Structure 1
């Protein structure tokens, strides 16, 4: 019994040390995907870039994230201009490759979430702003963005939760995140169920904390509940 407790304690500590890697990958990918998703939404509103944005969204929504990670890590890194150029210092790092793949993939989903939210804003409000002489940036700041954030937040939050779980795929290219460390411990101890249960508990804690934060923000943005 004491041996089991010692093993669980050591494993918990080892997995806990990998939490910053998982959180860092998620945070960087979330920021990158959000910024890129915003650019894709803007590109879809312009005639010259609309088809390129739609092609990007189609490709990254239509192929598995795991395949995209492999293509970045094993494919792009093998190209001559990257392998023998200044970008090699970044692309030789598995963590950076996972960040690139997750950013590109999740930006396509976030772009569709924002596009749907943008389409849900009543056109009459935009027309009223135009009639009152509001400039483009004033309309964006006072009318479009506040409603866009409130309408997109539930689906956007769901995408963020999916991103936390998707970080586990980075372990397939030797990133020592929570899943990667769990796999390493299993390879030495052969105690699959115990270790994966501990890893699952960590992911539950991360997603639970994120969900609670998103619900708090959603309540604050709700004009009715935010006053309670």
Structure 2
């Protein structure tokens, strides 16, 4: 019967759609639970062995997509999750960011926690971007998407701990804690020193130059990223 066949087909379509949703939820659940294992591992390795993690990113970019980063979090996602954690710590300790209640000028665009998180993602991504562009320029390598992706992904592994330490340090300076200003300043200074040291070694090895010359490259790149960071922040604030 034509009517019965139509009902059966519709039922089969609904069932198949339902099974696809279940399979998607299964994969999503496994992915999120996997973060609980691989995120701390990736963060520890990025803090303790940053240069090895950057070299690891260089190798993984050349692999097939399904074989990439099988024992770590993908670098851009790692940076995003780190900023998410930093944002969560800020919300738990200091409450709502004042920027979310500001409705003047471009600040009105940042009207939710998600928008604020996206803004921070853009701001802290400036550091990997400037480091990567500087390296390619110094190597006289053509600036293309594939060429830029390799150093950028590696740089995300170091930008994430840097952003987390800066966030915690800044929060400590404003928190009503004994010696909070001093502790926060120490954390921020450590974060900057750690980041510049790593970048100096990275430039030194990649360009086959001395550590001092590498430090110069790191300082130039960091200054450019900081200028862009401040300029965008001032437009919003």
TM over 0.5: no
The structure with higher relative contact order (CA 8 Å, sep 6+) is: 1
TM-score by length of 1: 0.38
TM-score by length of 2: 0.37
